[in-house]
Chain A
Amino acid sequence: DTAVSQTPKYLVTQMGNDKSIKCEQNLGHDTMYWYKQDSKKFLKIMFSYNNKELIINETVPNRFSPKSPDKAHLNLHINSLELGDSAVYFCASSLSGRRTDTQYFGPGTRLTVL
């Protein structure tokens, strides 16, 4: 059973479009995260959700909006896609969001904006 899953695995789209990436975890964790990994492998946290409440929001453009229908899901919606949004987006989850909790990452969604 996959612990953290993401769909789609690959996403190719045109500039200006709106797209969503879905994430689900079956670990019973309370906290979920979205990370962006650029072409140089730099991994940067974008958001985290704990019990449906946003607790971290790094300096991410408001074109990006996380949506959590329940604690097992954290989707990422992106409006007006730009070339610089091309990256691999990873979802992760941890038990309670404490810094000592292990984060489990999904396989990533490779987004290419043309």
Chain B
Amino acid sequence: QKEVEQDPGPLSVPEGAIVSLNCTYSNSAFQYFMWYRQYSRKGPELLMYTYSSGNKEDGRFTAQVDKSSKYISLFIRDSQPSDSATYLCAMTPNTGNQFYFGTGTSLTVIP
């Protein structure tokens, strides 16, 4: 079983829709959770990060962590065509510097 599971999609939504992207994980030691956005043929770029459980909002993006369910989400409100990319979740445990990535969800926002 992989440390981090993520539905690869693809996910296709109309412009303006609310998008929900999710990851589950198995290691209860994970404490720090990140979302990366990767455009086609580019390197990933950090979008948001959260520490432990709770919500964090940044503009149209909201990251949510539910440690009891080992489940994290990224919500995108008022989605735009420029949001079309692959979104990767990543997480690290409480100690050490290991990073574990999901396989990424491919999102297309249709104008």
User: Chain A: residues with CB nearer than 8 A to chain B?
Assistant: 4, 40-45, 48, 55-56, 90, 92, 97-100, 102-108
Contact = CB atoms under 8 A, between A and B. Distances in A.
A107 B42 CA distance: 5
Contacts, number: 53
B32 A41 contact: no
A92 B43 contact: yes
Given A40-B8, A41-B8, A108 B41 contact: yes
Interface of B: 8, 32, 38, 41-46, 49, 51, 86, 88, 90, 92, 96-99, 101, 103-104, 106
B104 A41 contact: yes
Contacts of A99: 32, 92, 96-97, 99
Given A41-B104, A42-B103, A99-B92, A106 B43 contact: yes
